[in-house]
Amino acid sequence: MTEEIRIGVFVCHCGVNIGGYVDVPSVVEYAERLPDVAYAEPNLYTCSSDGLQKIQEAIEKHGLNRVVVASCTPRTHEPLFQSACEEAGLNRYLFEMANIRDQCSWVHMREPEKATQKAKDLVRMAVAKARLLVPEEEPEIDVLPKGLVIGGGVSGLTAALSLMDQGFKVHLVEREGRLGGTLLKLDKLFPSNVKASEVIDPLVERVEESNDVTVHLDSKVSDVKGFIGNFDVVVDTPGGPEKLNVGTIIVATGAGYLSPEGLYGYGRVEGVVTQLELEQTFKEVGGLEGVETLVMIQCVGSRNEERAYCSRVCCTEAMKNAIRLLEKDPRRDVYILYRDLQTYGIEFSAMEFDAKKRGARLVMYDKDRPPEVTGEEKGPLVRVYSPLLDEELTIEADMVVLAAPIVPNVDNEALSRHLKVPLNSDGFFMEAHVKLRPVDFATDGVYVCGTAHSPKEVGESVYQAKAAASRAGIPMARGSLKAAAITSVVDEDRCCGCGTCIEMCPYNAITKNERGLAQVEPAVCKGCGVCGASCPEGAITMRHFTDEQLEAQGLAAIGEA
Amino acid sequence: MSDFEPKIIGFLCNWCSYAGADLAGVSRIQYPSNIRVIRVMCSGRVDPVMPLGFLAEGADGVMITGCHIGDCHYIDGNLYARRKFGLLRRLVEKAGLEPERVMLEWVSASEGQRFAEIVTEFTERIRGLGPVACDEETRLNLRAAKAAAEEYRLRALVGKEEKLVERGNVYGDDVTQEEFDRIMDEAVETEYTRNRIRLMLAREPMSVKELAYRMGEEPGNVLSHVASLRQRGWVALLELQGNTPIYHAMEAS
């Protein structure tokens, strides 16, 4: 018995984001006339609790058995709408989205008529697919209550301890022979001037003393298989490869600093060091003797064509060290040569004012006419053109301190391949969504925190680490989760046992059964559809992305002018 | 034809390219409005049958985008996408269309700008090529190409291409890309021609001589294809006109 298909279409204004460019009422009117559409309505914000409630009411009132929301991207909002449908008693796979914002109103802002036409087409395509949707079931997967944290710096340690405090066992893998990471090299931390050792040492101690955290030093992750709940990880340790079985993975591998060889006399001129080296000197000898004039140069080798990003910490670090030097000896001359000051927020701005009040001399320089550092007998000589004064200043310095950028770890690429998570174009790990899923990867069960993700200061790394640990804690605390229903399924009557799909499957999810026919393990299948698109007999159906559904979408796209 | 607005279908993989398109949106990067997007989980999901079907039914161009090689969310789905695209391009060309009407590109989640550029460039390219001819002959050829993409032999070849070329066959022989291409070209030619004959006979029963004339083929070649189609039960003898056998197509099973 086939039930009558009754589709509800909800067209979102998204405030002015869609409504400002697409004629939403006419899209609604158009949707009402599409085949099998029983109801259509506009919403100011379909994703608001009010909007979700309206969907649920309409499901009941109009007997809807398919729902189409025309709004933004399914990558962020599909789960929300699916859950709303589910609460109203509709299987979550009887839902489809038309992306009339990211792929329409926002990218055709100057062509409102064409945008409206396209929005209608996208709704028609979504309705065409919705007509063919069927309910799907999600298999249940067990989640091991054991986490893997990669990286033993302040982020990794914080994440590991947070997981431990939540009651989970943790494996912590550190590349170096000692826990602590970059903080081991720093003296004092801004804005509070607390000793770095006072932050990092207690974390290291707690981890080392814990029976719940197993630390692997001098070790690297060399292989990752499996999926959320059950990852098989191989760690290369000094004692040989070790196999770990964990439920979730947190990437906290940190970042490096660029060694600014060849820039501003670094490596050639005596007295030219990096901020990190200055920190080390502070840490080792407590201060700087015999340095009367010190010049800091900001944005060294960064915010340029090769490295467009800002390293976020250097401006405040410069203020911190300028204050420290001037506090010790107010007669010193401390210059900070900068392009734009990025001492953001309440505390860092206060540090900037403090440094200025103490007499730090801030000189803006031009990106296209950067300072020059030459080695003279008395020490480094700095020439800098100030566009504000329109003149060149010459500074006889005792020391030049370069703000070298934070750069992604060289290992990131290999690790991103093992974990199947992306890097951004600068080489840092990229989260699933900058605002909605800031510490998740698109791959379930893998999370990111600290400078592995982007340059950031210690406080920011700590709260990101705690966020990642709490995200990782969710599936582990629940103990099980529902796997996606989007998997492939073999029609045994059509399968000839040629094995083409078995060879292609990236996850080894397909095996031959006792009759020599292909068989898919749903918990392992990730739903890419590579097998279905090549099955010589057309025996494989990709759930929720069937040939018929995709064809219907395409034909709907070209079907009407 | 200056006001020609091409109909373009875009298959975007969920993890990289669809995210890249979203980023173009979030960044408000403007591009031509012709593209209609179908979201798939992986570029490797795109069966050549689908783009060919869309071209046969009125699309003017089809673009497929996936994660960059090495970045595939599904490890190596895009390698298979590339192999499938090879078959698609061959068949588009066989059907008499410009192969540039189909395009495969890699767009990452961070490449919103690149996505917009690719769509703009592809739209302009198709605009330059003009619409796909809507005459009956072109449609028949495209349907023959689509049917060929459904054939066991071509699908099995494409399915095995990646591993065959990269790792050699089960007997340990290395199969070079050139060798594989030669086998593939021959198989594509055969399957396409046979399906074209079948569709021509479905439209109108005729003799081998007439078929050969209309197709511009050697009658001997056409005869051997007809014989093979008869073996498969797809074509049968309808009647004898004088001494000339007239063939017709059987209903597809």
Residue A543 φ/ψ, nearest 5 degrees: -60, 140
Residue A415 φ/ψ, nearest 5 degrees: -65, -40
Q: How far is CA A391 from the centre of its chain?
A: 44
d(CA B18, CA A4): 32
Instruction: Test A533 with B45 for CB contact under 8 angstroms.
Output: yes
Please provide the size of chain A in residues: 561
Q: Which residues of chain A have a CB within 8 Å of the CB of B110?
A: 422, 424-425, 430
Q: Which residues of chain A have a CB within 8 Å of the CB of B22?
A: 73, 75, 99, 102-103
d(CA A384, CA A470): 48
* Structural tokens at position B190: 């055969």
* Structural tokens at position A156: 């990794």
Cβ atoms of A447 and A248 within 8 Å: the answer is yes
Provide, rounded to the nearest whole percent, the portion of chain B with pLDDT above 70: 96
C-alpha radius of gyration, chain A, whole number: 29
Please tell me what DSSP assigns to residue A79.
H
User: Which residues fall within 8 angstroms of residue A370, CB to CB, at 6 or more apart?
Assistant: none
Q: What is the number of other CB atoms lying within 10 angstroms of the CB of residue A61? A: 11
Q: pTM here?
A: 0.69
Burial class for A466, CB neighbours closer than 10 Å (0-12, 13-18, 19+): middle
Single-letter residue type at B240: L
Please tell me what DSSP assigns to residue A372.
E
Instruction: Test B21 with A535 for CB contact under 8 angstroms.
Output: no
Confidence label for B253 from pLDDT (cuts 50, 70 and 90): very low
Q: Does residue B170 register a pLDDT over 70? A: no
d(CA B90, CA B239): 36
* Structural tokens at position A37: 């559409």
Q: Does residue B252 register a pLDDT over 80? A: no
Give the nearest chain B residue to A111 (CA atoms).
B33
pLDDT of B89 reads: 97
* Structural tokens at position A137: 């079931």
Instruction: Test B24 with A102 for CB contact under 8 angstroms.
Output: yes
Compare CB distances from B33 to A99, A114, A420 and report the shortest one's residue: A114
Over range B1-10, report the average pLDDT: 86
pLDDT digits (tens, 9 = 90+) for B42-90: 999 999 999 999 999 999 999 999 999 978 888 789 999 999 999 999 9
Residue ranges of B 156-185 with Cβ closer than 8 A to chain A: 156, 158-160, 162-163
HSE of A310 in the Cβ direction (CA atoms, 13 Å)? 14
* Residue A60 zone, left/alpha/beta (φ > 0; ψ -120 to 50; rest): alpha
d(CA A421, CA A433): 13
d(CA A526, CA B44): 13
Q: Does residue B1 register a pLDDT over 50? A: no
pLDDT of A560 reads: 63
d(CA A497, CA A516): 6
C-alpha radius of gyration, chain B, whole number: 21
d(CA B138, CA B144): 10
d(CA A445, CA A245): 13
Question: Could you list the pLDDT tens digit for every one of the 561 residues in chain A?
Answer: 578 999 999 999 999 999 999 999 999 999 999 999 999 999 999 999 999 999 999 999 999 999 999 999 999 999 999 999 999 999 999 999 999 999 999 999 999 999 999 999 999 999 999 999 999 998 888 999 999 999 999 999 999 999 999 999 999 999 999 999 999 999 999 999 999 999 999 999 999 999 999 999 999 999 998 888 999 999 999 999 999 999 999 999 999 999 999 999 999 999 999 999 999 999 999 889 889 999 999 999 999 999 999 999 999 999 999 999 999 999 999 999 999 999 999 999 999 999 999 999 999 999 999 999 999 998 999 999 999 999 999 999 999 999 999 999 999 999 998 997 888 889 999 998 787 789 998 778 999 999 999 999 999 999 999 999 999 999 999 999 888 799 999 999 999 999 999 988 877 789 899 999 999 988 778 899 999 999 999 999 999 999 999 999 999 999 864
Give the nearest chain B residue to A129 (CA atoms).
B38
pLDDT of A561 reads: 44
Taking the CA of residue A405 and the nearest CA in chain B, the distance in Å comes to 21
Q: How far is CA B26 from the centre of its chain?
A: 33
Instruction: Test A550 with B38 for CB contact under 8 angstroms.
Output: yes
Angle at A200 between CA A194 and CA A202, to 5 degrees: 105
Taking the CA of residue A326 and the nearest CA in chain B, the distance in Å comes to 43
Cβ atoms of A149 and A160 within 8 Å: the answer is yes
pLDDT of B2 reads: 58
Q: Which of A18, A76, A103 to mutate to test the interface with B (most CBs of B within 10 A)?
A: A103
pLDDT of A352 reads: 97
Q: What ipTM was estimated for this complex?
A: 0.95
Pick the closest to residue A4 from A40, A35, A41 (CA basis).
Answer: A35
Over range B171-193, report the average pLDDT: 90
HSE of A262 in the Cβ direction (CA atoms, 13 Å)? 1
Which of A414-428, B155-169, B190-204 is most confident?
Answer: B190-204
User: Which residues fall within 8 angstroms of residue A266, CB to CB, at 6 or more apart?
Assistant: A259, A260, A272, A273, A274, A402
Element (H, E) at B106: strand B102-106
Give the nearest chain A residue to B47 (CA atoms).
A533
Q: Which residues of chain B have a CB within 8 Å of the CB of A121?
A: 36
Among the ranges given (B34-38, B170-174, B224-228), the one the predictor scored with the smallest mean pLDDT: B170-174
B24 in contact with A, Cβ within 8 Å: yes
Taking the CA of residue A558 and the nearest CA in chain B, the distance in Å comes to 6
Compare CB distances from A554 to B16, B50, B156 and report the shortest one's residue: B50
